Structure formats: C-alpha cells, structure tokens
Structure 1
Amino acid sequence: MSSIVPGPQKKLEEEITAARAGAKPLDARDLNPSAPRHEALTGLDDWPESLRSAVETEYTRVAALDSNRRKTADLAVPGLVTALDTLLEGVADRIQAGKPRLFGRASAGEASPEAAGILGIPSDELEAVSGRGEHRTALRTIKQLRSQLKELADTPDHARLTRLTTFVIRLAVVVDADPQTATALAPIALVRFAESAVDPQRSATFAEKLDSWIHARATLGSD
C-alpha cells in the first residue's frame, strides 16, 4: 500500500493558506529556505496564552519586515490581528468588571505609579478621576480599535499596525499584572492613544519592547 506525500510546493501552499486564515503564523523559511530563522523568544513560559501568542506573532512580522520580506510580514498579519483582538476583548472585560457604581468615581492616583509610567501616562494626569462616563468612553475606544484591526487584516499598513500592536500588548501586560489598572489607568491610556499622544516606545526596537514588557510584568506582578 502506498501513500502520497505532498511535495514542497503543495506544502508551501498549505502553509500559506493556514497563515492567511490566522491558524498558524508563517515562518520566514516557509517562503524562502535561505531566509534567516529567528531565535525562539524566551521569558514567556508563564505568560497567558493570549499574550504569548500576540508577542510571538508580532516577532514574526517584525523580523520579516527587518529583512525586507514584505510578503511574509503580510501573511503574519491575520494571526496577529486575531491575537490582538483577543487581548482587547480581555481588557474590555476587565474594565467592564471594575466599572464604578452609579455616581461612583475612581481616582487614577490610587493605581500603581509604576503602571502609569509603563503606560506613558504623565504624573499630572494621575489626578484625573474615572467614572461610568469615562469607562463607557474607554469601551467605545476599544470597539474602534477592534474595527481598525479588521481593516488592517484586509489591507496591511505596517506602520499603523506597529503602533497599535505596541500599545495593545503593553496595556494587556500591565492589566494582566496589575488588574486595578483596568479600572484606574486603562481609560486614560485609551484616550491618550485615541488622541495620538506620543508613544513612549515609538522608537524602540522589538527587543527593547520585549525586555520592557517582561520587566513590567515581573515588577507589577510582584507587588
């Protein structure tokens, strides 16, 4: 009895189809065997699956862009969009769960100063108070960001995607490590992003961002 083993071209087509469906990120060497295979990321073993998936898929996209392989970077986008959408859904759930009671308000000053610094929120904005109205605005902003992700999945814009990915992963890391952030700081961070405030990691490399995310999770999680 014989079996048919798919040839290299058939296997490549299957890998590309899976990547476009967001089921499996496409490795650089799937498209180009001579392309450098990036090293496995470390320090993520105890991270939630949703966060780890987003970081790993972003690494695949950035590594492809850094080596001028735009097609491979484009193929990583659907999986990245799915991962980021999951993170935003989780942040929205945390905000919803911690929303102030009717006529109640929460001060951002009650949140961790370290968390505020990681999110790039200036100290003079920590006196702001967050009520039900601010939380509704935050949830609307998340809805808008999820809509933007759907657009980027269809028509990749890597500059926009880098800014959005950096913000979402950073926010999700902080909220996961310090849940109070969802109530006190996430609404402020979301408004600042919507208003195109300068991102504190705008010129950072992926390696620098990753180091800061790992450090943030370890620092906030130990409090």
Structure 2
Amino acid sequence: MKKIVVVDDDVNIRNLVKGLLMKEGFMVFTSENGREALGILEKEVCDLAIVDIMMPVMDGYLLTKEIRKQYDLPIILLTAKGQIEDKQKGFESGTDDYLIKPFESKELIFRVNALLRRFGKSSETNINLGSLYINKKGYEVKFKDKTYLLPLKEFELLSFLASHPNQVFSRAHLIEKIWGLDFEGDERTVDVHIKRLRERFAGIDEDITIKTIRGVGYSLEVN
C-alpha cells in the first residue's frame, strides 16, 4: 500500500484530501505544519508528499527543500496562489507538480497516480552507458572515477535522456517530463540546463554526447 503525507494547516483541506486518497486505497498521514511532517517522514517511509505553501512554523517552500535534502519521494505543492512567480519559486524549491486550490478531486488523484508512475519508473534501475553511471537512488552521477552531485532538475534531465539513449526529444516533451504539466516558463529552460550539463562534463564525455537536433530538440548519444 502506497503511503502519502498531506501537510496543510487547514483541517478541512487535510480531511478532504485524506478522504479522497483513502478511497483510492492509499494510506494517508496528515500534518498541520512542516516540522510535524518531517517528524512523520522520520518514522514512516512515504511514497509522496502533498504540501500546502502558506503554513505557519515552516512554509511549503522550505519544507519542500528539506524533503529534497533528506528523502527520495515526489512532491505536489498545493496552494491558492496561481501567479507565475509562485510557481517558479515552487519548482526552484524542488517540487514535482503544482495544484491550485480549489481543485477537482479527479485532477488531484490523476496527478498523484501520474507522479507515482513516473517516479517509480525513474527509480527502477541505475544506468550504465559507456563511462557514465547514474545512481538514481543516491542522485549521483559518475564519469569514470569522478562523482558529481547535480542540482535536481539537471539530474532528472540527464537521467531521462540517458534512460532513452539515441532517442530525440523535443523541448516541449522534456518540459512536460522534467518540469511538469503546469510549468509556465518557456522552452529556453531546457536549453539552459543542457548547456550546464555540457559545461560540467566538457572534455571527459568521450563516450556520451548530448546532441542538438536542429529544429527538433535533444538526444543523448552513445559514441
């Protein structure tokens, strides 16, 4: 049974979300603030977190950062805010998805199941391609004997491309897979992250090349 922690200072929202998730067969833990939620995560191995942004003691952005530092699970930020700046801050904090209140119950369940499927697939195995080794559980990347700890989105982007070597993906497809359906930035975000990856591994990636396919997108190719 999958375990989900729901963090919201509004008891009505907590109970609503808990009820929806329990009907779908999930085990649900609830908390009214970030500190309480971290206490739950110390005791329970959870598969996903649903986190409200505006909370006392520890807001959702800070809680998301703390979860990212310590645990390997997807996060949905739940908030009444819809401005692009708030979404940007949420994704920069490390959230995987973003749902604005009020929301349809079916949409919440759809997003929860989609994230669990996506995260489960991405965590199944490690990746070995030539001199490249990716440890998905430990968020480590190794080229030959050197280990790199990448920022989350760079890691996810590299892992996704490496999971599908020699396949070409459009920028829009990569945005959807790495940043989520609600990301409202432009496709240049992909270009920036690709550039950073190339700079990190410049001169040592003889076996692996991230190629730009003009007019289409990117492909990680094994030489």
Task: Work out which structure has the larger RCO, using CA pairs closer than 8 Å and 6 or more positions apart in sequence.
Answer: 1
The structure number with the bigger radius of gyration is 1
TM-score w.r.t. length of structure 2? 0.26
Structure with higher strand content: 2
